[in-house]
Amino acid sequence: MTIGFMGDIVGKPAREIISSRLNELKEKFDIDFIIGNYENASHGFGLTEKNAIELFGTGIDMMSGGNHSFDKKEIIGMFDKYPLIRPLNYPKAMPGKGIFKTTLLGHDIAVINIMGHYTMPMADNPFITANDVVDELINEGVKHIIIDIHAEASSEKQALLHILKDKVSAILGTHTHVGSDDLQIFDGCCFITDVGLTGCRDGVIGMDKKAPIKRFLTGVGEYFDVPTDCKAILQMIIFTLDENGRCSEAKKIKCYDAEDIVITHSRVELS
């Protein structure tokens, strides 16, 4: 099976380029299932129901979240209506689930959303939580396990790789919005520290550059805004899993507006 994973979807420019390019990518790369991260999808902060319907209409199959999952309070009623998850290690009293399960091409698959510790909201230990739930899934016979680790610190993401690489199919980093250059298949586990945003590429982490520049120069903060007119990028990891849930091939694609697709192939790493 072939899976497509998009990192942070940031605002209207992201939704527009996904709408214009995703079906083309799905056909070109024969993608069976597409995952996206919704936490910045509605003007940079959270997800509205209107935008959820819009994104699922583009061909996205399910979406994971992060520290902005609850910025739009209407999402509380959306978890039972749509294939949406939020970080598993949020306190148990929080609405929603941190695991999505389905059957694809005759195989049970699970997508887990985990949030890191550094600079993030209060949450349970991500490493213990992820390890415990992965063991539970393996005991249930699930071999195809994909993790979205939404974290600021690259060290947390890389540590999770070494903890779980023999147990899961893919560990894909989100949150920083800046794509990293370390896509690899490590002992059969697809890994990248950060996929990178989909949205405006000519601002600051997908936002209009005026507010962050003013903050850096003066120390005075302003509301971050998503530009209405910008140069856009769509970034996606596409990876293929065998019947045992091990990754056999992975690549990163970048679409710049309506231009050609840039493809970077993974390195195969063995311990």
Yes or no: say if 114 and 140 are a contact pair by the CB < 8 Å rule: no
Digit-coded pLDDT (tens) for 169-205: 999 999 999 999 999 999 999 999 999 999 999 999 9
Phi, psi of 229 (to 5 degrees): -135, 115
Distance CA 45, CA 185 (A): 32
Six token digits for residue 180: 């990293």
Count of domains observed in the chain:
1
Active site residue 265: no
pLDDT at 223: 86
What pLDDT, on a 0 to 100 scale, did the predictor assign at position 103? 98
Query: What was the pLDDT predicted at 235?
Result: 98
Closest CA to 1 of 24, 46, 35, 43: 35
Per-residue burial over 191-220, b = 16 or more CB atoms within 10 Å of its CB, e = otherwise: bbbbbbbbbbbebbbbbbeebbeeeeeeee
Encoded tokens for 236 = 């996606």
Q: Which of 68, 150, 175, 177 is catalytic?
A: 68
Determine the pLDDT at residue 228: 86
pLDDT, the chain, mean: 97
Closest listed residue to residue 14, CA positions, set 195, 149, 172, 154 = 195
What average pLDDT does range 238-255 have in this prediction?
A: 98
| Sign of the dihedral through C-alpha 129, 135, 139, 141 | positive
Least confident window among 16-30, 139-153, 161-175, 220-234: 220-234
| C-alpha span between 262 and 197 (Å, rounded) | 15
Query: What DSSP element (H or E) covers 104?
Result: strand 99-104
pLDDT bin (cut points 50, 70, 90) of residue 55 is: very high
Q: 48-62, 214-228, 237-251: lowest mean pLDDT where? A: 214-228
Residue 178: CB atoms within 10 Å: 14
β-pairing, 107-115 vs 2-8, is unpaired
153-175 pLDDT tens trace: 999 999 999 999 999 999 999 99
Confidence of residue 222 (pLDDT cuts 50, 70, 90): confident
- Name beta bridge partners: 186: 189, 269
Does residue 271 carry a pLDDT above 90?
no
**pLDDT for the residue 249:** 98
Q: What is the pTM of this model?
A: 0.96
- For residue 80, the domain's CATH number is 3.60.21.10
Per-residue pLDDT at 261: 95
Look up the domain containing 257 and give its range. 2-269
pLDDT at 104 (0 to 100):
97
Percentage of the residues of the chain whose pLDDT score is greater than 70: 100
pLDDT at 260: 86
Pure H helices in 123-184: 126-139, 154-164
SS3 215: helix
